[in-house]
Chains A and B, each alone.
Chain A
Amino acid sequence: MENALAALGRFGLFAARVAVRCVSPPWNTRDFFVQAWTVTVRCVGPVVGVTFPFGMVIGLQGLAIFDLFGAQRLLPSLIAVAVLRELSPVLASVLVAAQAGSSYAAELGSMRIKEELDATEIMAVDSLRWHVVPRVLALILACPILNTLGDVAGLAGGYTMSVLIQGEPGGVFMANLWSFVSVADLGFGLVKTAIFGAIIGLVACYHGYFTTGGAAGVGRAVNDTVVRATLTFFAANYVLTSAMFG
């Protein structure tokens, strides 16, 4: 328990030190763009690969529910609500945590093991500013972008299942798609994912930055990153969703 508290304290301190450097110059602009681009490219496949089939499943199960009431025309609205408000932000973030978060932890972890971080400091370069800040900022940018792509893929999955596979009329689907969702829902999704991006970036860089114990330590850092980042942003998700609806 004491250990957990101490670790939490260390993480808080780390997050604060990173946050200060996020908002004050100089910035490592080049690495920021490189990282943002790399993360987006590396995560597009996984995000789409998960949100598309998930959209299909919502279509399938939603149809089962609405069939009971003869209210099939509500199906597209349900799909849109589910995908835009919850599934795409959460799934995109899970995949970002698994793909980008774990690769951050692996990169920084092996830099730590190979003493590259020490070397950076010895050359009088702030390793947090140089290596960590661009990665965290990159995720804050990349997460909402990936969420938007996830939105599109999820809706496409829903369309594929209900119109192309189950044979619901396509015109009705498109007409009812937007009846319950608003621009605010989209905006909220973007804000939510930016926050999730910050959480994932901080948790991942923290575990990578403080890796010990050789190659096995890197594996451990990656493992801890995925699990803890996911736990943290799921909790944040509940708080944010409650606040928005409350």
Chain B
Amino acid sequence: MSALAWLGGLAWFAWDWFRANLRSRPPPGRTLEEAYRIGVQSLPVLLVISIFVGTNLALQGYKAFTPLGGQRLVGMFVAMAGVRELAPLIAAAMVAAKAGTEMASQIAVMRTREQIDALEVMAVNPYWFLVTPRLYGILLVMPALSLISVGVTVLASLLVSVFQLGLNAATFLEFARSSITMNDIFAGSVKAVIFAVIICFVSCYCGFVSEKGPEGVGRATNRAVVVSCITCVMFNTLVSQVLYG
């Protein structure tokens, strides 16, 4: 029941933002600043995680296809699983964990220290001032982060396949390339944009409704990453069903 009320609040929050802010320009300079920050914050983590997702994708693909005599298929498996599903989601999860938690905790700290009230009293709309630049910033960088994650995942799988599992690099690439189309790249970008919107609204909302004090900040941060991840995975399934089903 309270979860439903919370989701209703989230929807209302997003609607409120759209109603009031879609046509107003963001505070000057802040969008690029946020984009830069989100990108720089998330990129190192994203690279490392993408590497390990790639390595394990190759290991597991190899293990799964060997009994079928289909080691050649590893390249295809990596490309389809990695490019279509895992890499965009990994990018979303890491941006949620890094940039999303930061949005939630910053806004929650501002709530705790009455800075949001101060914005209101100074006649500055906090949604416009705090949400708009973050939303546009994350929308700018998310597709790029998603593509980087795709590239790194496939590259790491290739390296593990060739150097650890002894597969042929040319075959791997051949199968990988033939199973990926421009359509998949497009689908990945669509997903990235949807995930960016989800992460931004969920994280900011968690910050805005947090209770005051250190526990409140902690809980808001925690909730931001969990709810963002679940929502992204669910929407991912939905989008995949629409695009590939």
Contact = CB atoms under 8 A, between A and B. Distances in A.
Q: A contacts B directly in the complex (CB < 8 Å)?
A: yes
Interface of A: 46, 49-50, 53-54, 56-57, 60-61, 64-65, 74, 78, 81-82, 85-86, 90, 94-95, 98-99, 102-103, 105-107, 109-110, 113-114, 165-166, 180, 214-223, 226-227, 230-231, 234-235, 237-238, 241-242, 245
B214 A238 contact: no
A220 B104 CA distance: 11
A94 B52 CA distance: 14
26 contacts: A50-B230, A50-B233, A53-B234, A54-B237, A57-B236, A60-B237, A61-B240, A82-B64, A86-B60, A99-B226, A106-B219, A107-B215, A107-B218, A110-B213, A114-B214, A180-B64, A214-B214, A215-B109, A217-B214, A220-B105, A223-B101, A226-B97, A227-B94, A227-B98, A234-B49, A245-B59
Interface residues of B, number: 57
B245 interface: yes
Interface of B: 45, 48-49, 52-53, 55-56, 59-60, 62-64, 67-68, 73, 76-77, 80-81, 84-85, 93-94, 97-98, 101-102, 104-106, 108-109, 112-113, 164, 213-222, 225-226, 229-230, 233-234, 236-237, 240-241, 244-245
A115 B122 CA distance: 35
Contact of A242 (B102, B108, B164, B245): B164
Contacts of A64: 80, 244
A234 B240 contact: no
Q: Is the interface of B mostly helix, strand, loop or mixed?
A: helix
A65 B80 contact: yes
A81 B60 contact: yes
A229 B21 CA distance: 37
B237 A56 contact: yes
Contact of A86 (B56, B62, B101, B215): B56
A56 B85 CA distance: 11
Nearest to B165: A245
A98 B244 contact: no
A99 B45 contact: no
Given A46-B229, A94-B93, A219-B109, A78 B64 contact: yes
A215 B245 contact: no
Contacts of B76: 65
Q: Is the interface of A mostly helix, strand, loop or mixed?
A: helix
B245 A165 contact: yes
Contact of A218 (B49, B67, B164, B217): B217
Given A50-B233, A95-B229, A218 B218 contact: yes
Q: Which 8 A-B pairs have the closest CB atoms?
A: A106-B218, A219-B105, A110-B214, A53-B237, A102-B222, A234-B52, A222-B221, A223-B101
B52 A238 contact: yes
B48 A222 contact: no
B163 to A, nearest CB: 12
Contacts of A113: 214
B225 A60 contact: no
A215 B234 contact: no
Contact of B214 (A60, A109, A231): A109
B233 to A, nearest CB: 5
Contacts of A222: 101, 105, 217-218, 221-222
